[in-house]
A and B are shown apart, each in its own frame.
Chain A
């Protein structure tokens, strides 16, 4: 455990480090590009017209602010804490991913880039990237693991409708981590015109901090909305974590509010003890992958292991470096939930609230089901409903033994 810092808002340092985590572990070919992104982002941040332009698109194109909704029947069902959903599944394209994509596409435009590449797991980030590329008339290439293409067919078709080229990744284990490898390989080979639009709070500096900054609007809105609804801060926040961008977005504005309990929920897959899971903090240890040091699922030779989760969006053997730091500092509690628990929560939410959640936030809801009943009725809990479940209906049907 490191000493408690004065503020959790000071990271990363100028080298992109959150404690020992983060950094810029990339090939020399990419280093000048990453420095260029950092400089462009710093300039954009200091330019009020950039934020004004982004705000305008977030309001009129994305549909922000997303509502903070009192989930009355879920609250009654669990019989304890008062549960609110932050409705980021109502954003254009159905998830929080578009918040980040809109910010980065405006940055790429400022940088004069004409070709956008991205990796995607569940396809939500791919769809959001393809969407903003269509909106601004930029070429879009999405790398997606061949395994994920099979289980997320609706999103693959959606990306193609939006004009993106979807490249199946067959290298390695053909999932999200390999898609990220191939996107990096593309970037190395197309340095002049290409911008890599990373979808989560991972990768080399400045991506973890930049993606967090574009997602923190989730928490900022929540703060205001909870003040309006209840006249105070929430008592706890719960969000699911793959790479961790929706969670970072919700958590970040509350990190210095010491009375707010913050819980991140990783995917335990078939169970941590089986080794088939995606819980990097619970079941991994620090290592270096995809440009940053963070907790990783790996063997004792430093080889990265396959993650497993029923949710393609959580199926990643790493986690954003800021989460690794918040885990070590103890500010955020990280827990895990199995595939089955998430499936149960998915069905519960659909029937009780008329909201079909994505499998990713179903993990967060499953954990709420474990703790809510022990909390008093005046305990205000916010869950990030970071995506809707339309994309998952085939996976769910399969898991429930239903043929569509």
Chain B
């Protein structure tokens, strides 16, 4: 399989973190939640608020792996003007001020399929997107987007889950690039949390199959939880807690209050401090 030359941002970022001997903090926000401009302000502010990589959610009407918080964020984003092309515009605008922080688009396949896979990969690369996480594309469907993405130099970051057994894991890892995203719970986003011992065992299992960095997400809500994960994995992803902060800073009409951006970035800062406050346990 041929892999195209990537943007290099994800590799460079994890190399830098390796030098600093710390894990990455990766916030998730939904593009256009609660509106395009506010969400761009959050995006733009995240690197200074401690984000090492950023997951930018692509709204989909039927997010079957997401819990109530991210479902609600999607509905707000829809009302706020979310469209895949506008999300790419947002990334393009972000890149005029930041050419280092990796951006990963996270969502579901249908909006990309309807946009057109080849056209999407071209436009996303040009906009400055570094990788994709597409929830409903398991290895069995690699010919759809994963292989064309890798050929186009777009990282395709796969989800591994508690149900991914040793028999499946090699296939799940095979065409993954950038990093591996370990879903810490069998469940949807923003519901239960796994305990640290389980996460540690799972990360160690993944490390036996890949040299790629391991990010852990689903169920991380507080700086302490993020810190605990940062001791055992290469990145901690927080999504539902952040979009909930957006929800908590809307006025009665669902519009952004003046404090919204500050409060979301403040949460990002405290989560990032949770991650940065710990040194990593020795790998291997």
Contacts and interface: CB of A to CB of B under 8 A. Distances in A.
Contact of A191 (B108, B138, B186): B186
A25 B172 CA distance: 14
B135 A189 contact: no
Interface residues of B, number: 45
Interface stretch (B21-29, B35-43, B93-101, B158-166): B158-166
B114 interface: yes
B136 interface: yes
B109 A25 contact: yes
A28 B172 contact: yes
Nearest to A305: B61
Given A32-B165, A301-B83, A27 B186 contact: no
A298 B158 contact: no
Contacts of B161: 27-29
Interface in B109-160: 109-115, 135-138, 140-141, 158-160
B163 A288 contact: no
Interface in A111-156: none
B191 interface: yes
A298 B141 contact: no
A177 B109 CA distance: 17
B64 A288 contact: no
Nearest to A178: B62
Nearest to B68: A171
B183 A28 contact: yes
B111 A25 contact: no
Contacts of A184: 64
B141 to A, nearest CB: 6
B249 interface: no
B179 interface: no
Interface string B15-35: 000000000000000000000
B279 to A, nearest CB: 31
A303 B141 contact: no
Interface in A154-213: 171-172, 177-178, 181, 184-185, 188-189, 191
Contacts of A30: 163
B236 interface: no
Nearest to B65: A27
B90 interface: no
Interface string A21-44: 001111111111100000000000
A287 B187 CA distance: 25
A68 interface: no
A289 interface: yes
A24 B109 CA distance: 12
Given A188-B186, A189-B186, A287-B114, A181 B64 contact: yes
A30 B162 CA distance: 10
Contacts of A23: 140-141
Grouping DSSP codes into helix (H, G, I), strand (E, B) and loop, the B interface class, with mixed when no group exceeds half, is loop
A23 B139 CA distance: 12
A15 interface: yes
B14 interface: no
A86 to B, nearest CB: 34
B77 to A, nearest CB: 11
B186 A287 contact: no
B70 to A, nearest CB: 11
Nearest to A24: B140
Interface string B68-80: 1001000000100
Contact of A172 (B59, B61, B65): B61
A290 interface: yes
Nearest to B134: A25
A290 B183 CA distance: 20
Contact of A32 (B60, B71, B83, B164): B164
Of the candidates B64, B137, B172, B192, the one having the most CB atoms from chain A within 10 angstroms of its own CB is B64
Contacts of B110: 287-289, 296, 298, 302, 304
A185 B163 contact: no
Of the candidates A29, A33, A177, the one having the most CB atoms from chain B within 10 angstroms of its own CB is A29
A25 B65 CA distance: 12
Contacts of B212: none
Interface of A: 15, 23-33, 171-172, 177-178, 181, 184-185, 188-189, 191, 287-291, 296, 298, 300-304
The 8 closest A-B pairs by CB, nearest first: A302-B114, A302-B111, A189-B187, A302-B110, A29-B161, A303-B61, A304-B61, A184-B64
27 contacts: A24-B138, A24-B141, A26-B64, A27-B161, A28-B160, A28-B164, A28-B183, A30-B163, A31-B168, A177-B62, A185-B64, A185-B65, A188-B64, A188-B187, A189-B191, A287-B110, A288-B108, A288-B109, A288-B113, A290-B62, A290-B64, A291-B136, A298-B114, A301-B111, A302-B112, A304-B61, A304-B110
Interface of B: 59-68, 71, 78, 83-84, 108-115, 135-138, 140-141, 158-165, 168, 172, 183, 185-188, 191-192
Given A24-B141, A31-B168, A304-B61, 4 more contacts: A25-B137, A188-B64, A189-B192, A302-B112
